[in-house]
Amino acid sequence: MKSLTLLLVAVLLTACGDEGSDARALEECTGDCDFDPWVLLGDPLLPARALPGRMRLASSRTQEAASGVGNDDHNNFVRETDERIVLLDEDGPGVITRVWFTGRQPRDQDYTVMDRVRLHLAIDGVEVLGGEAGMTLEELTRGELRGFPRPWVAGRDTASNGFMVIVPMAFQESVTAWIDTPIPGVDTFFYYQIDWRELPPGTRVPAFDGVPSASDEAALSAATELWIDAGREPLSGPTVEETLTLDVGSTGTVAIASPTTLRELRFEARSLDDLRVELVVDDVAVVDDALLRWTFAAAPTLPYQSALSSYAGDAVTFRYPVPVRRDAELRISNEGEAPAELTVRVAHTANPPPLDVGQLRILCGRPESPAFGANASLLQVEGQRGHYAGQTLTLRSHLESYWDGLWALEGDHEVFADGVEVLGTGMEDYFGGAFYYRRGPFALPLAGSSGIFGDAFVEVPQYRHHLLDTMAFEESFDFTYESFQPGSVLDYCAYWYAHDPA
């Protein structure tokens, strides 16, 4: 299957640019290029690769000014008729990269009402989910529908009361998504987010017709092996492995002295809590922080596995691609009170990085949520071209009331890429869950939360990885959350890739 993955990616890059110096980068496909999202999912460098177009988000939140907190984030739609409630109505070309829903009937606190919501999706004028009858959210996400296997889909049972689909659905001419009127139940609160990539006019895409072809299924199998199955064991290929014994206060190094792309960083030790790691690439410090913090495993994270990170208590794995033009070095410091022995394993590619990947940058911080109605900014980039690729965020609300602490999760994510605004519906919605994760922790390939901890305070670890839905920007980027609970601490690391000027 690995050879199939490489073959599929080679086909795409032949159409849209390869690694040669005279090749056209994938991001430069502006009207005369093929964009196949199923094939792209099998690209191991996808998080680092510059993609064409711009990410957009259709959501149930009403439009509002960047400042202030309205929290009018449910039951807002594109339009309503006697027969349908339209959620998305756009022209192509483009590709839906993520669909997320939740809801409840507030009178009885009934969350099961969402199981019966019937979704319709028309691509290029043809209904593709269950035909004219549509399909219930429960049917769509149970994992039994061809082309929609788990964990590429998740229901309320596996997404803590959320429904999520991350199978790509491309459209050439148009896309319309709607649900039947009326919504099941009485006065149901309905929330949704549909992430989609708007592609340059003239881009050719394989329009999704509801039934994946044999090549689509092969591509999804390859992507499953790459992003899901591979997490259960170290990657194969060129590796550098070192066992280090670090005295208190000492530092050890692991170096790679040639152009390559780091595919996997794995650290194993009896205890990883007191290790600090600086990653230096081409003389630039990518990150210098506590190991568990920037590898998606900060306390109180429980063991989990995802597409780009995993944690097993005595081992942590980081899989964001790290392109290296000249050399790279890991500097591991022991900040504990006892000697530490650990094994560091670095899997990398045999070739220099291609032209259309960026340079990884990791920014970590611990801002306090500002005054009610203001926004807390996590990642601000000015005067630089690049794309945003992911985030780990542990919300810490050390307050007298546990439920008041959870109120901090009401903060919608508001993203500004070159001034274009993306508006979310709640912090836990961005991370794939719903209603304060009351159904407990969960871990999906691209999003999750390891749970809510604390008696009189809240600590909520959350993560989100982006593959086909990385957010590109030319000059400026600002990822923010609304402040619903001033004084809450947003302990985060944000992951983005810097690109050379166009």
Alpha-carbon gap, residue 358 to 498, rounded angstroms: 5
Closest-CA residue to 442 (of 433, 453, 455, 429):
433
Say how many residues make up the chain: 502
pLDDT in tens, 120-146: 999 999 999 999 999 999 999 999 999
> Which residue is it, tokens 């006892």?
338
Token pair for 225:
């092996």
Dihedral (Cα; 31, 33, 37, 38), 10-degree rounding? 150
pLDDT of residue 452: 76
DSSP string of 304-359, one letter each residue: EE-SSEEE-SSEEEE-S-EEESS-EEEEEEE-SSS-EEEEEEEEE-SSPPPTTB-E
pLDDT in tens, 64-118: 655 556 678 889 999 999 999 999 999 999 999 999 999 999 888 899 999 999 9
Q: Cβ neighbours of residue 60 under 8 Å, at least 6 residues apart?
A: 73, 74, 75, 76, 77, 87, 190, 191, 192, 193, 425
DSSP string of 458-487, one letter each residue: EEEEEEEE-STT-EEESSEEEEEEE-SSTT
Look over the chain and give the mean of its residue pLDDT values, rounded to a whole number. 90
Task: State which amino acid sits at residue 185.
Answer: G
> Which residue is it, tokens 């590109």?
472
Task: State which amino acid sits at residue 481.
Answer: Y
Task: State which amino acid sits at residue 39.
Answer: V
Average pLDDT over residues 237-264: 96
pLDDT in tens, 8-49: 333 343 333 333 322 334 556 666 799 999 999 999 999 999
- Does the pLDDT at position 159 exceed 50? yes
Q: Is 132 helix (H, G, I), strand (E, B) or coil?
A: helix
In the chain, % of residues over pLDDT 90 = 78
CB contact at 8 A, 63 and 165: no
For 195, 199, 252, 296, 433, the CA distances from 390, given in Å and listed in that order, are 15, 21, 28, 11, 16
Closest-CA residue to 261 (of 320, 335, 221):
320
pLDDT of residue 23: 32
Alpha-carbon gap, residue 427 to 414, rounded angstroms: 10
pLDDT of residue 458: 85
Alpha-carbon gap, residue 115 to 129, rounded angstroms: 16
Alpha-carbon gap, residue 345 to 334, rounded angstroms: 17
